[in-house]
Amino acid sequence: MINASLPELRRALDARQISAVELAGLFLDRIDALNPALNAFITVDREGALAAARVADARIAAGSAGPLTGIPLAHKDVFCTEGVLTTCGSKMLANFVSPYDAHVVSLLKVAGVVSLGKANMDEFAMGSSNESSYFGAVKNPWNPERIPGGSSGGSAAAVAARLAPIATGTDTGGSVRQPASYCGITGIKPTYGLVSRYGMIAYASSLDQGGAFGASAEDCALLLSAMTGFDERDSTSLERPTEDYAAALAASSATTPAARPLEGLRIGLPREFFAEGMADDVRATIDAAIAQYRALGATTIEVSLPNARLAIPAYYVIAPAECSSNLSRFDGVRYGHRAADYGDLADLYAKSRAEGFGAEVKRRILVGTYVLSHGYYDAYYLQAQRLRRLIAQDFQAALQHCDLIAGPTTPTTAWALGEKADDPVQMYLSDIYTIAVNLAGLPGLSHPAGFGADGLPVGLQLIGDYFAESRLLSAAHRFQQATDWHARRPAGAA
C-alpha cells in the first residue's frame, strides 16, 4: 500500500481491504522510521491523524466517501492548521499553534483527507534548497547528501520517500515545481487565484499560490480538485466554477486514440530555455522526453520568450518588496518570538526580529525595504512591475502559436547540501525556468522525465494559458501512461 496510487488506495479502502486507520498507521510508522534521516516533517500529528482516520472509516462504512476520504496527506507548514503547530520553518513561529484552519486545510478536511502532520520548508518559504529552515535542512530521498529543493522541500521529499502519498505545497517562484523535479515526483502550481491564500502565511502576496504534490499527474489531479474554490476571505480568489480535474482527465482518456493520444497537441519550445546554462545531462533527458511527446502525437514548434532572462531580477525586486511588508507583522508584540531582554518598544522590535528571523529572511526584508524606500521605488519596484507585464505579454504571444510550453524545470539536478549556501545569487539562478510563470500568474507543472548522469531525477516543466490545468494534467498523464519515470522510487522508499 505504501507505493500505491490514489486510485489504488481508493479501491482498497472502499473494498475494505484496508481501513483508513490501518492505512494511516502504515504511513505514520514509516515516518517514525525514515523521518529522522530525511527531516521532511516538522510536526507529526499521530493522534489527530488516527482520529481523522476513524471518522473517514465511518464515512466509508456509511457509503458517503469521496475520492480523498481516508487518504493520508502532509501539509506544508505554511498552512495554518487549527490546534497544530504552524511554524513556517522559522524560530519566529516555533511555538505558534494556529487557532484556525487555512481555507485549503478546511476544504481537505471536508474531503476526508487524513493529515499526518506538517512538512518542513524553507523559512517563510524563502529559499530554493530547504536549507534555511530553523528546524534543519531536509535531505533528498534519492541521495541524502543532496538538497530536495525548496521552499516546499519537505512536502516533495515526503511524497518521494512515500512518507505520504500526496502533499500540499506553495509556489511563489517555483517552490512546488522545482522540488518536484529534484525529488522525482509530479507537482502542479495552478493559475494564480484558483487556490485561496487565506490562512497561508504570506511571503509575496501577488505571487504566492498553493499547489499539489503526488507521484503522478493523476494523483495531483485528485488533490488539486479538492483544493480549489472561491473564498470571499481572499481578495485575490477567483470567483469561477470549480473543476473536477480527475474527471476531466478520465474523460479525455476515453476520447483520445490509444496509439497517439496527444495527436493535435502543439507544444512550444522557447529558444531561451534551451540556450546556455542547462547542464548537458539535463538537456539530454529533456530532449528524450520531448521526443516521447512527439511519439505520442504532439507536434513541437519553436517559440520565443524574449524577456524571460529578466524574470529573476524582476522577481527579486517584487518578492522581497512584498515580503518586507508582509513580515512587518512579526514584531514580538502580538504573537511569535519575543526577545527576553529589551529596553523600550523599539528595542523589543529590533531584538525580537533579529533573533526570530534567519539570514535569508533578513536578506530579503532588507532588499525589499530598500527598493520600496523613497528615491528607489520608481527606479526599482515600478521598473520590475513593468518587466512583469512584458513577461506576461511574451507568454500570451507564444501561446497564440501553441497549446502548451515545455522545457526543463531546473538547469541542473539537485546539488550538494551546503554547496551554494555562501552564494545566494547562484541559488536564485536555480529557479531561472520557473519564476516567469509566477510573474505571469500562469499554471505550471513539473513531472519526472528521467535521470541525470549522477542518478538524480530530472523534471520536465509544462506551462499553459490561464485555467489550462486540465490540459497540463492530461498531457502529463499521457506521458506517464507511456513511461515509468514517475513510478521509480528511491532505494529507501521502494
| Given the residues 151, 216, 352, 474, the one annotated as active site | 151
* 3-class secondary-structure state, position 190: coil
Length of the chain: 494
Among 151, 41, 76, 94, which Cα is nearest to 330's?
Answer: 94
Tell me the C-alpha distance between 19 and 60, whole Å. Answer: 9
Is the previous residue joined to 216 through a cis bond, with omega within 30 degrees of 0? no
Tell me the C-alpha distance between 203 and 181, whole Å. Answer: 22
| Given the residues 19, 76, 155, 470, the one annotated as active site | 76
Cβ atoms 434, 461 nearer than 8 A: yes
| Dihedrals phi, psi of 438, to nearest 5 degrees | -70, -40
Query: Residue 301: left if φ>0, alpha if ψ -120 to 50, beta else—which one?
Result: beta
Q: Which residues contact 70 (CB under 8 A, 6 or more apart)?
A: 9, 13, 19, 20, 23, 53, 56, 57, 59, 60, 112, 114
* 3-class secondary-structure state, position 334: coil
Active site residue 90: no
Please list the alpha-helical segments (H only) found in 327-413: 345-356, 359-372, 383-398
* 3-class secondary-structure state, position 1: coil
Name residue, grid cell 513580515.
327
- Per-position b or e across 130-167, b if 16+ CB within 10 A of its CB: bbbbbbebbbbbbbbebbbbbbbbbbbbbbbbbbbbbb
| Given the residues 19, 90, 128, 175, the one annotated as active site | 175
- How big is the chain by its Cα radius of gyration, in Å? 21
H and E: helices and strands count for the chain:
16, 11
Among 11, 7, 163, 169, which Cα is nearest to 75's?
Answer: 169
Active site residue 151: yes
Q: What is the DSSP string of 35-97?
A: HHHH--EEEE-HHHHHHHHHHHHHHHHHT---TTTT-EEEEETTB--TTSB--TTSGGGTT-B
Cβ atoms 435, 310 nearer than 8 A: no
Tell me the C-alpha distance between 22 and 54, whole Å. Answer: 10
CA dist 12 to 67, 76, 245, 250, Å?
Answer: 12, 26, 22, 20
Cβ atoms 404, 462 nearer than 8 A: yes
Q: Which residues contact 76 (CB under 8 A, 6 or more apart)?
A: 118, 119, 121, 152, 154, 155, 167, 168, 169, 170
What amino acid positions are annotated as catalytic residues?
Answer: 76, 151, 175
